[in-house]
C-alpha cells in the first residue's frame, strides 16, 4: 500500500487499523511515514499511526526495532498518550532486542514509576514485566524499580493504591525469575491492608499462588 494511501486509510471513519497493520507488515516501505505521522497536527493521523505501530509491535516487532531510538525519544515527550504508546512498543521490542539496547535505557524507561502521573507509571510497570520476561538478566533491576511504587507520589493516595495493584500483577508475571523474593512478598503482604478492595484482592491472589510455595523471605 502506497504511503499516502496508508495515512488516508487510517483517517477514515471506522478504519480497520488491524487490517491496515497487516498490509503494512507485508509491505513495510511506508513505516517511515507512519512514524512521522506521530508528529502530525491532525489527531486522526497521530493516533491512527500510534495504534498501527502498537499492533505491529505485537505482531512484527522486528520491523520496528530499527526505529528503537524514535520510541525512546517519545518517553520524554509532552504528549502523554504517545508516552504510553512508546512504553508499550518498547516493551514489545524486548524480544527482538539483539543489541540489548533496552539494558542501557531501562532505568529511564521505569523512571515514571516514582510519579506524578499514575497512568504513565502503570504503563511502564506493565511494560517492565514484559521486558523482564524477554530479558531475564534485567529482572532484579526491574524488580527494584517496581518496588518503588509504594513510596511514589501521585495526584492522590488512591492513585498510588491503583498503581500498587498494577505492580502486584506485573510482579506476578515474572516472580519465578526474581532471586530476592523477600522484598516483593513483604510489599504484597502490606497490601492486604490496602484501602482499595481491588488491590487487596490482587495481593490475596498473589500470596495464595506464591507465599505457600515455599518462597521464604530473603
pLDDT 10s digits, 196-207: 999 999 999 999
Distance of CA 1 to CAs 10, 26, 31, Å?
Answer: 12, 9, 11
- Decide if 145 contacts 171 (C-beta within 8 A): no
Q: What domains are defined for the chain?
A: 1-59 (no CATH), 72-213 (1.25.10)
State the maximum Cα–Cα separation within the chain, in Å, rounded to a whole number: 58
pLDDT 10s digits, 62-107: 999 999 999 999 999 999 999 999 999 999 999 999 999 999 999 9
Which cell numbers hold the place of 8? 488516508
Amino acid 11: pLDDT: 86
pLDDT 10s digits, 99-140: 999 999 999 999 999 999 999 999 999 999 999 999 999 999
Report how far residue 47's alpha carbon sits from residue 11's, in angstroms, rounded to the nearest whole number. Answer: 9
Q: What is the 3-state secondary structure (H, E, C) of the chain?
A: CCHHHHHHHHHCCCCCHHHHHHHHHHCHHHHHHHHHHCCCCCHHHHHHHHHHHHHHHHHCHHHHHHHHHHHHHHCCCCCHHHHHHHHHHHHHHHHHCCCCCHHHHHHHHHHHHHCCCHHHHHHHHHHHHHHHHHCHHHHHHHHHHHHHHHHCCCCCHHHHHHHHHHHHHHHHHHHHHCCCCHHHHHHHHHHHHCCCHHHHHHHHHHHHHHHHHCCCCC
Amino acid 159: pLDDT: 98
pLDDT 10s digits, 32-65: 999 999 999 999 999 999 999 999 999 999 999 9
Amino acid at each position: 500500500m502506497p504511503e499516502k494511501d496508508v495515512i488516508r486509510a487510517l483517517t477514515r471513519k471506522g478504519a480497520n487499523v488491524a487490517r491496515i497493520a497487516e498490509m503494512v507488515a507485508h509491505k513495510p516501505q511506508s513505516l517511515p511515514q507512519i512514524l512521522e505521522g506521530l508528529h502530525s497536527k491532525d489527531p486522526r493521523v497521530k493516533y491512527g499511526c500510534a495504534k498501527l505501530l502498537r499492533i505491529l509491535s505485537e505482531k512484527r516487532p522486528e520491523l520496528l526495532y530499527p526505529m528503537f531510538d524514535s520510541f525512546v525519544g517519545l518517553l520524554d515527550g509532552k504528549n502523554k498518550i504517545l508516552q504510553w504508546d512508546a512504553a508499550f512498543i518498547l516493551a514489545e521490542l524486548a524480544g527482538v532486542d539483539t543489541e540489548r539496547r533496552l539494558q542501557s535505557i531501562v532505568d529511564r524507561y521505569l523512571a515514571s514509576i516514582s510519579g506524578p502521573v499514575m497512568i504513565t507509571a502503570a504503563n511502564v510497570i506493565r511494560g517492565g514485566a514484559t521486558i523482564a520476561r524477554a530479558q531475564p538478566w534485567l529482572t532484579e533491576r526491574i524488580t527494584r524499580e517496581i518496588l518503588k511504587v509504594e513510596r511514589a507520589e501521585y495526584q492522590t493516595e488512591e492513585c498510588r493504591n491503583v498503581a500498587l495493584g498494577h505492580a502486584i500483577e506485573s510482579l506476578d508475571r515474572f516472580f519465578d525469575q526474581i532471586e530476592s523474593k523477600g522484598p516483593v512478598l513483604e510489599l504484597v503482604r502490606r497490601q492486604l491492608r490496602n484501602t482499595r478492595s481491588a488491590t487487596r484482592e490482587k495481593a490475596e491472589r498473589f500470596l495464595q499462588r506464591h507465599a505457600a510455595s515455599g518462597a521464604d523471605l530473603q
